[in-house]
Structure 1
Amino acid sequence: MSGHPARCERAGIVVVFYRPDEACVARANRLVQAWPCVVVDNTEQRSTASALGLDARIDYVANGRNLGIATALNQGVERLVAAGCTSALLFDQDSEPSVELLDALPQTMADERMRNARVALIGPAYEDARLGGVAPFVRFGALKLRRIAPVGTELVDVDFLITSGSCVNLAVWRDIGPMEDQLFIDFVDLEWCVRAKAKGFAVLGAPALRLTHELGGEPVLVFGRSYPGHGPVRHYYLFRNATALIKRGYVPWSWKSTELVKMPVRLAIYGIFMRPRFAHLRLSLLGLWHGLIGRTGAL
């Protein structure tokens, strides 16, 4: 922590690996220059930090199998808690945080915590050039999401933030509870934010901060609009977890209504515009069924 002698904030970083390439390793090596860094590797083939070329200062956790994003994040956060960190910056392996973001986000959390001890999460606006630039922040609304342009410098009350680039207040981590392991992937961030807000904690967007982040695979253009592209297995989790969350009492009806509107549209897009069509359709419907009967965990 010698790089930040004036700080009361003791931030740490968690990065989740899955079949990382050299660029992922290089990003992690840059991150540890700013704050202590835990890399949790969900790759099926167990490796070592030195074999991957990771900086010796990185705390490397090799799971040897894919335990899902929720479990990996929980493992990393618990290591930062044990190390005495006060906040955790969470990143996907392909996120490109700037030096400015790594500096400003923990400072923003420290400043906000002084005003509001019940702040759970703060995150930047993310920028994905493939999907049309800077994405708006989101609040839930009846039948459709309310989008809030990331302008100005005041923190914005939002209903959820994507995991990557978000800064968790570790002082309230135990009160809210960990990410839900059984969701595995998709809607893990949304469920945690909804649970935090249901318990009276704040989720805040920082409109002045930016993270370059690619959401999903190659986008699919449908009637002039870009949609994030995923493989059929991801669409299984998306439908399953959305269905599972719709059944829960603490999840707001405003979000449930938007998902019920989106589901048939998604099903049509995946089944018509994404290949292989049958695999996308079959796994989406299987996810819907598993969500209804309560099956969770890995597919």
Structure 2
Amino acid sequence: MNYKLGAGIVLYNPEVELLKKNVDALYNQVDKLLLYDNGSSNYQEVKSIFGNYEKIVFEDGVKNRGIAFALNKILNWANRENYEWVLTMDQDSICSSNMIKEYTQYLEGKDIALICPFILNNGKTTFNEYKKMDLPPISEITDPVKCITSACLTNVKITLKIGGYDDRLFIDCVDIDLNCRVLESGYRIVQVNTTYMTQQMGKGRVIPLFAKLQQLTNIDIFRRAKVVATYSDMRLYYHSRNSRYIRKNYKNHGKQTTALFVFAYYIYFSIFYPYNRSRIKMWKAMIKGFVDYKYIGKG
């Protein structure tokens, strides 16, 4: 069957050259592309660059209401345009040229809500390493942490049926929250391993010790640890707050949202973040988030 497919990219002060690579990789794979702006200071520059692209439409959100609010705007736009599926993208991600072609092989599964690719994240896995992996064409995702919003092909009707994205979360764990509800509602999430997406999460900083250990041993934990993404204290606040909210609200919330894992994650940040970062401010933000989870949805 031929499907009409839309896509949406959420913008917030994007790096223009990287965004152009993102758009160019995606543009000929979908019927229409929405650029939704979350109050960027360079939004007019973005409009001037992409204004002549025939299949691109713009929506100005005026101010930053968070990633979940923007994703709901994309979801509702896709529904109005009668798209059964919509691809959501981060502004700093680039999809492979075969992504939609590979995805469309699995659109007939009536219980499939989300389709995601293999992720090449911050250089933790290189393209050559990915190509050498003996992966099955498709994997079933049962851990809600393992499917992220960027490059996720989303079944519009199913996602709207279960409530869409929770804009109370603002940013961080928004995808995990949706995935939890998808799985609890009896729908499926699949990963198509014959296609991939490259993603930059924060400004990645290579840890030479772990990079060397990964090279020598090929142990997965060293691969994951060899690049640390440098986030703002505010981003860590939302991660702490929202991961605790998810732990409290879902039985199957994934190993990486457990209290022990999150605590170890923050210890890792404390050790390997740039030396000019205040660890005191960092931990104050994370502790405040831990306390504030109970206020989500209030006030």
Distance change (3 Å), C-alpha of 1:175 and 1:208: same
Could you tell me how far 1:132 is from its partner in structure 2?
3.4
1:273 counterpart residue number: 272
Could you tell me how far 1:44 is from its partner in structure 2?
4.3
SS at match of 1:180: coil
Cα root mean square deviation, aligned: 2.6
TM-score, length-normalised on structure 1?
A: 0.81
Residues 13, 43 of structure 2: 8 Å contact kept: no
1:142 counterpart residue number: none
1:51 counterpart residue number: 48
Deviations 1:143-165 (A, max 9, x none): xxxxxx87021342432301111
Greater alpha carbon shift after TM alignment, 27-36 vs 229-238: 27-36
Q: How does 1:31-70 map to 2 (within 5 A)?
A: 31-35=26-30, 36-45=32-41, 47-48=43-44, 50-54=47-51, 55-70=53-68
What stretches of structure 2 of length at least 5 have no aligned partner?
128-132, 211-224
Q: How does 1:109-258 map to 2 (within 5 A)?
A: 109-110=106-107, 113=108, 116-128=109-121, 130-133=123-126, 151-160=135-144, 161-219=147-205, 221=207, 224=210, 225-226=225-226, 227-248=228-249, 250-252=250-252, 255=254
Deviations 1:188-217 (A, max 9, x none): 001101101101111111122211122332
Could you tell me how far 1:47 is from its partner in structure 2?
3.8
Residues 150, 207 of structure 1: 8 Å contact kept: no
Richer in helix (by share)? 2
What stretches of structure 1 of length at least 5 have no aligned partner?
1-6, 135-148
Could you tell me how far 1:177 is from its partner in structure 2?
1.8
Could you tell me how far 1:25 is from its partner in structure 2?
3.9
SS at match of 1:131: coil
Q: Distance in 1 between matches of 2:295 and 2:268?
A: 25
Aligned length: 270
Residues 270, 277 of structure 1: 8 Å contact kept: no
Q: Distance in 1 between matches of 2:21 and 2:191?
A: 28
Runs of 4+ residues over 4 Å off in structure 1: none
Residue 289 of structure 1 pairs with residue 291 of structure 2: yes
Distance change (3 Å), C-alpha of 1:222 and 1:258: farther
Q: Distance in 1 between matches of 2:289 and 2:57?
A: 35
Q: Distance in 2 between matches of 1:25 and 1:154?
A: 29
Could you tell me how far 1:269 is from its partner in structure 2?
2.7
Deviations 1:264-291 (A, max 9, x none): 2123233343223222111111111111
Residues 97, 211 of structure 1: 8 Å contact kept: yes
